[in-house]
Amino acid sequence: MPDAVVLLSGGLDSTTALALARRDGFTCHALTVRYGQLHQVELAAARRMATALGAAEHRVIDIDLSFATSALTSASVAVPKDRSLADIGAPGDVPSTYVPARNTVLLSLALAWAETLGARDLFVGVNVLDASGYPDCRPEFIRAFEALAQVATRAGGFRVHAPLIAMTKADIIRAGLALGIDYGLTHSCYDPSPDGAACGRCDACALRRKGFAEAGVPDPTRYVTLARG
């Protein structure tokens, strides 16, 4: 089976991308990056999902993007809460949870590992429909990075797969459930409680709840706000 490097954050989308890569016959090398994010819950989720989905190898590597101003890397920047679904991902909306150039950095690391392995395929779980308006989740970005990969490496011939990019969150959930994913093991929240419960109020929680509702299946997420309600 051909090798592929899969960026795995432990969230719903990247987990589904890993499952799809496995379905398509790739031997998957999962890459998780500790980039200075405030919350470590997603790292534990990534380890769980790499094991559950049979990744051939899972690496967690450290870089420091704490200088990049974002609500995900700086406690002084507030995570947006209680925004309407109409506002999330609206044209021109790039919320404070955007980490400058994060996907460029992460895909560069995946590219370096892929070239080292002799792999030619990278998988990333970006999505442009049910997303928070991040510029590095667009098809234009994926095409541009794939073009860059051909001239930035000795090997060339790389393919960047973004299988979820045009899917709704409900479509993603249905696809993952069909492949046996236990989404209760994943983590999406931008501002979890100390015990790992999802806040239920950030953009990621809102999109996740919307996805399960539209898919017509129970949401297995443990939410702080729901537990208190």
Distance of alpha carbon 133 from alpha carbon 28, whole angstroms: 28
Helix 139-151 to helix 102-117 angle (10° resolution) is 40
Q: How many residues in the chain?
A: 229
Residues of the chain with pLDDT under 50: 227-229
pLDDT confidence of residue 225 = 58
Q: What is the mean pLDDT of the chain?
A: 94
Tokens of 55: 């990744």
pLDDT confidence of residue 92 = 79
Site of tokens 């209680």: 82
Label residue 216 left, alpha or beta by phi (over 0 means left) and psi (-120 to 50 means alpha): left
Q: Which of 173, 171, 168, 169 is nearest to 184 (CA)?
A: 173
Neighbours of 2 (CB within 10 A): 11
pLDDT confidence of residue 227 = 42
pLDDT confidence of residue 93 = 83
Q: What are the domain boundaries of the chain?
A: 3-187
pLDDT confidence of residue 229 = 39
The counts of H helices and E strands in the chain are 7, 5
pLDDT tens digit sequence for 108-124: 999 999 999 999 999 99
pLDDT confidence of residue 228 = 42
CA 178 to chain centre: 19
Angstrom CA distances, 5 to 50, 129, 204, stand at: 12, 24, 24
pLDDT confidence of residue 133 = 81
Identify the DSSP state of 52.
Answer: H
Please list, residue by residue across 79-118, b when 16 or more beta carbons sit within 10 angstroms of its beta carbon and e when fewer do. Answer: bbeebeeeebbeeeeebebbbeebbebbbebbbebbbeee
- In the CATH scheme, what is the code of domain 3-187? 3.40.50.620
